[in-house]
Amino acid sequence: MAYSFPEEVLEHVFSFIHTDKDRNAISLVCKSWYEVERWSRRRIFIGNCYAVSPGIVIRRFPELRSVALKGKPHFADFNLVPDGWGGNVYPWIAAMAMAYPMLEELRLKRMVVTDESLELISRSFKNFKVLVLSSCEGFSTDGLAAIAANCSGRFSEESRISSFDLLSFATFFLSNQTKRYNRFELKPACEVDIGSPISLIPDFAHHWCPSTFPAWPPRCPSLRTLRLNRAVPLDRLPNLLRRAPQLVELGTGAYSAEHRPEVFSSLAGAFSNCKELKSLSGFWDVVPDYLPAVYPACSGITSLNLSYATIQSPDLIKLVTQCQNLQRLWVLDYIEDSGLDALAASCKDLQELRVFPSEPYDMEGNVALTEQGLVSVSEGCPKLHSVLYFCRQMTNAALVSIAKNRPNMTRFRLCIIEPRTRDYQTLEPLDVGFGAIVEHCKELHRLSLSGLLTDRVFEYIGTHAKKLEMLSVAFAGDGDLGLHHVLSGCKSLRKLEIRDCPFGDKALLANAAKLETMRSLWMSSCSVSFGACKLLGQKMPRLNVEVMDERGRPDSRPESCSVEKLYIYRSVAGPRSDMPRFVWTMKTPS
Amino acid sequence: MISGRSNKKRGFIEAFELPPQTLPLLLWNDHPNDDDDDDDRKGVENSSFIAKKNDDGYCIVGWPPIKFRRKKICSHNRDDNDRTVLHNGSARAGVGGGVNPNSKYVKVKMVGVGIARKIDLSRHHSYQTLTNTLINMFGKCQQDAQSFKLAYQDREGDWLLAGDVPWRTFIQSVERLKILRIGG
């Protein structure tokens, strides 16, 4: 007779286990643990919506309250995935409407979300609290109005559920808008933290009409996060801040106005009243003269997003050096090396730095930002572990310094704007530099490469990058050996995305089994033949091998012809049924 | 018919080892590139960019890898600067008048400096303020300024010395600037 704990005890024990990884592990122990676990799981993250079907999820986990789904491949962010590719959330919503009437949270990334889906969400889930749409598209304000209308006013303070009151307010002027936005980033739309009710007004990119923006409601004691639309003028801001001095996160609207002393002092006064402010963003159209108004709040700021602020280095330096407790900075390359030196000297708690290009299509460069800036920050900021850096020149020596300075690096994404750029001092490829990064930074889990790179860099990566989970490669390598090193060496690899590299059939076919251990592989403008894709599809039933080709049917060309784009992902749901005319799945023969 | 699956508990090894590896579809030898025709720079020649002309005039689709929203925002910043009307003509150079319908950014290159800069000529009303700003921009001091001269490229593509024509004329025809050393 087998002894085991009663199910209730197991369930209680499992309630302390939260991460997906741990939950997946305990479900493998034995059948009864599998059963207890699946009935008690409340939260699920599905990294690829096509890896599994709604039916399979619902069958296994009948009591979910929180679902997160991701749709399109990452390179969709850069226009590499044609419209109509897929990732429509509707089938999921329809299935969950029946199966999870108690659903509370939905987080979607890179999915197509139609108004129909939003309306269905608003009608189906009585306890709905959290909707986050990141990089999604396909909806308009009509859909959002439905969410606001149907999800508001149902929650009470006593049950410590969110208050959607401000959203019903948003509905008032949203309903005046009927335009349909194709490329819409809403992030986050209406996010609520249980226990500390938050409401947000969506920060629409361009099209919110300020003239319909009525007077702000009297007081919003529970408002924690507010991100304003760019059209909201600066002179509105002091009033808003005074009504919500407990704000933790603020996204300003346009940060420009004619210089008027009374507006300035009003603004400065309002900011000094915001004692809880930790995060600042927005700063569209910024006028430097108004920046000092923010200084009173700077000592508490931990996150600063200036990536839309077109101000020059001296003003940036003045602002950034006020923020001694800064942990995260997103900024344009106007900050230049001098600004990064100042950052390194003042912000010792910095953990994440992202430097975006102000003129990404300008080959010549317009700012004095070089590899030196990044080296300075890596020297001066001991907690720096996450970097995204766009620049125009680099050296192996700089990368080696960065690697040695920051062995705690976990995310390193470097984009040297001109493809295949050499080390400008030695004229060598940047293999050694990136090699140093993977060798010294043992916890590195995300890496993006750029510059001139040979197969050697992939050998270093395969040898050292044992914790690497996501790798992005462009215009690199000499041949199949490079890809082989990565696929055979990187034990933890989950996502690999490659564009414009001379990788072909051999490495792919030789490492076919590896692909089942990963979430997905993207290859575009490489040298993988249609024949190899077919072979892979035939031999690997648990992989969906999708060929994307806008030139027409791949079998209308010789088998040795390279495919335009290839997206391979593991799936228990079999080939998908919603492919557009330019996507073909390589099927397993039945 | 007994199915392949066993009803017993999985052993430790079975449960925690990676799933059985299928045979590779192609056995890897150590010299995968041997039968390739060209030798070293094969990859470079054969890789096919998706080279299209997009709105920004740049050739490679999806490069550099920045999100669509960010691209739109940046170009919007510039457009808005050009379009919005200034209220009371506070066009003093350097003051945050903010938006200027006449903002005119031109590229400036200094000989010997790898990285070009950009300057908004609308904020200046004389050669003097322009050269002062340029000196600061390139990190030189006033004394050094004596050893440089400013040239500009006009609408016809000709390079001329700045300072010879009235400021108004200069502003209307200047397309690019270059800072050169006097003498050799």
The answer to whether residue A285 sits within a structural domain is no
The answer to whether residue A274 sits within a structural domain is yes
SS3 B148: strand
The answer to whether residue A483 sits within a structural domain is no
| pLDDT at residue B40, rounded to an integer | 34
pLDDT band at A431 (very low <50, low <70, confident <90, very high): very high
CB contact under 8 A, A481 and B36: no
Residue A149 in tokens = 């209308």
Which is nearest to A164 in space by CA: A174, A156, A176, A175? Answer: A156
Cα gap B52→B70, rounded to integer Å: 20
Give the closest of B33, B56, B87 to A258, CB-based: B87
CB contact under 8 A, A289 and B95: yes
CB contact under 8 A, B97 and A259: yes
| pLDDT at residue B87, rounded to an integer | 27
Half-sphere exposure of A488 (CA within 13 A, CB side): 18
The answer to whether residue B117 sits within a structural domain is yes
| pLDDT at residue B75, rounded to an integer | 53
In terms of residue numbers, what domain contains B138? 105-181
Cβ burial A444-456 (10 Å sphere, 16+ → b, else e): bbbbbbbbbbbbb
Give the closest of B48, B88, B99 to A256, CB-based: B99
Which is nearest to A74 in space by CA: A497, A412, A514? Answer: A497
Residue A94 in tokens = 């329809």
CA A561 vs CA A474, A481, A504, A509, A538: distances in Å:
21, 20, 11, 16, 18
Chain B residue at shortest CA distance from A367: B117
CB B171 within 8 A of CB B104: yes
The answer to whether residue A523 sits within a structural domain is yes
Cα gap A131→A93, rounded to integer Å: 13
Give the closest of A205, A366, A502 to B69, CB-based: A205
| pLDDT at residue A159, rounded to an integer | 22
Length of chain B: 184
CB contact under 8 A, A366 and B26: no
CATH of the domain at B122: 3.10.20.90
Burial class (CB in 10 A: 0-12, 13-18, 19+), A303: middle
Q: Count of CB contacts below 8 A, A vs B? A: 177
Report how far Cα B120 is from the mean position of its chain's Cα atoms. 17
Give the distance from residue B182's alpha carbon to the nearest chain A alpha carbon, in angstroms. 24
Find which of A213-227, A380-394, B68-82 is predicted with most confidence, using mean pLDDT.
A380-394
- Chain A residues whose CB is inside 8 A of the B98 CB are 256-258, 285, 287
Quickly count: other Cβ atoms within 10 Å of residue B55's Cβ: 9
The answer to whether residue B57 sits within a structural domain is no
Q: Is the pLDDT of residue B57 over 60?
A: no
Q: Is the pLDDT of residue A173 over 70?
A: no
Preferred mutation among B115, B119, B133, B134 to probe A, highest tally of A CBs within 10 A = B115
A368 lies within 8 A of chain B by CB: yes
Going across the sheet that includes A130-134, the strands are A43-46, A66-70, A105-109, A130-134
| pLDDT at residue A450, rounded to an integer | 97
| pLDDT at residue A220, rounded to an integer | 54
The answer to whether residue A107 sits within a structural domain is yes
Q: Is the pLDDT of residue B137 over 90?
A: no
Least confident among A41-45, A365-369, A405-409, A460-464: A365-369
- Chain B residues whose CB is inside 8 A of the A390 CB are 64, 66
CB contact under 8 A, B43 and A390: no
Cα gap A445→B130, rounded to integer Å: 48
Write out the DSSP string of A143-197: HHHHHHHHHSS---TTTT----HHHHHHHHHHTT---B-SS---SSSB--BTTB-
Find which of A119-128, A192-201, A222-231, A476-485 is predicted with most confidence, using mean pLDDT.
A476-485
Chain A residue at shortest CA distance from B50: A525
The answer to whether residue A430 sits within a structural domain is no
Cα gap A386→A184, rounded to integer Å: 27
| pLDDT at residue A406, rounded to an integer | 98
- Chain B residues whose CB is inside 8 A of the A480 CB are 32-33
The answer to whether residue A569 sits within a structural domain is yes
Note whether ipTM > 0.95 here. no
- Which residue type occupies A453? L
CB A178 within 8 A of CB A137: no
Chain B residue at shortest CA distance from A286: B98
A231 lies within 8 A of chain B by CB: no
Which is nearest to A488 in space by CA: A508, A462, A512, A469? Answer: A462
- Chain B residues whose CB is inside 8 A of the A258 CB are 87-88, 90, 97-98
Which is nearest to A422 in space by CA: B137, B101, B124, B44? Answer: B44
Q: Is the pLDDT of residue A340 over 90?
A: yes
Cα gap B88→B79, rounded to integer Å: 20
Residue B132 in tokens = 């002062």
Sorted by sequence, the CB contacts under 8 Å of residue A100 that are 6+ apart come out as A58, A64, A65, A67, A125
Last residue of a domain, one of A279, A306, A323: A279
The answer to whether residue B45 sits within a structural domain is no
φ, ψ for residue A496, nearest 5 deg = -130, 125
pLDDT band at B45 (very low <50, low <70, confident <90, very high): very low
Q: Is the pLDDT of residue A147 over 90?
A: no
> What would the mean pLDDT of A380-394 be, rounded to a whole number?
97
Last residue of a domain, one of A252, A279, A306: A279
CB contact under 8 A, A258 and B97: yes
CB contact under 8 A, A77 and B68: yes
> What would the mean pLDDT of B125-151 be, rounded to a whole number?
80
Number of domains in chain B: 1
Nearest-10 Cα torsion for A6, A7, A13, A19: 150
pLDDT band at A37 (very low <50, low <70, confident <90, very high): very high
pLDDT band at A285 (very low <50, low <70, confident <90, very high): confident
CB contact under 8 A, A477 and B43: yes
DSSP lists the bridge partners of residue A387 as: A353, A412
Burial class (CB in 10 A: 0-12, 13-18, 19+), A1: exposed
Cα gap A66→A128, rounded to integer Å: 10
Burial class (CB in 10 A: 0-12, 13-18, 19+), A260: exposed
CB contact under 8 A, A501 and B66: no
CA B41 vs CA A432, A451, A529, B44, B110: distances in Å:
19, 15, 20, 6, 35
Which is nearest to A93 in space by CA: A67, A61, A72, A73? Answer: A67
Sorted by sequence, the CB contacts under 8 Å of residue A461 that are 6+ apart come out as A434, A435, A438, A447, A468, A471, A485, A486, A489, A490
Cα gap B38→B59, rounded to integer Å: 27
Last residue of a domain, one of A279, A296, A322: A279
DSSP lists the bridge partners of residue A69 as: A46, A108
Least confident among B25-34, B101-110, B116-125, B169-178: B25-34
* Three state DSSP letters for A428-494: CCCHHHHHHHHHHCCCCCEEECCCCCCHHHHHHHHHHCCCCCEEEEECCCCCHHHHHHHHHHCCCCC
Q: Is the pLDDT of residue A524 over 80?
A: yes
Residue A82 in tokens = 């044609």
Sorted by sequence, the CB contacts under 8 Å of residue A198 that are 6+ apart come out as A162, A191, A192, A222, A223, A224, A225
* Three state DSSP letters for B66-119: CCHHHHHHHHHHHHHHHHCCCCCCCCCCCCCCCCCCCCCEEEEEECCCCCCEEE
Cα gap B79→A280, rounded to integer Å: 24
Number of domains in chain A: 3
The answer to whether residue B31 sits within a structural domain is no
DSSP lists the bridge partners of residue A331 as: A306, A355
Q: Is the pLDDT of residue B81 over 90?
A: no
pLDDT band at B125 (very low <50, low <70, confident <90, very high): confident
Cα gap A229→A469, rounded to integer Å: 35
More confident residue, A365 or A488: A488
pLDDT band at A222 (very low <50, low <70, confident <90, very high): low
In terms of residue numbers, what domain contains A138? 42-152
A48 shares its domain with A131: yes
Residue found under tokens 């050697």: A456
SS3 B131: helix
DSSP lists the bridge partners of residue A306 as: A331
SS3 A83: coil
Q: What percent of chain A has pLDDT over 70?
A: 84
The answer to whether residue B19 sits within a structural domain is no
| pLDDT at residue A231, rounded to an integer | 64
Sorted by sequence, the CB contacts under 8 Å of residue A483 that are 6+ apart come out as A458, A477, A498, A501, A503, A507, A508, A511
Quickly count: other Cβ atoms within 10 Å of residue B170's Cβ: 18
| pLDDT at residue A363, rounded to an integer | 75
Cα gap A514→A490, rounded to integer Å: 10
SS3 A403: helix
The answer to whether residue B115 sits within a structural domain is yes
CB A429 within 8 A of CB A454: yes
pLDDT band at B94 (very low <50, low <70, confident <90, very high): very low
pLDDT tens across A452-500, in order?
999 999 999 999 999 999 999 999 999 999 999 999 999 999 999 999 9
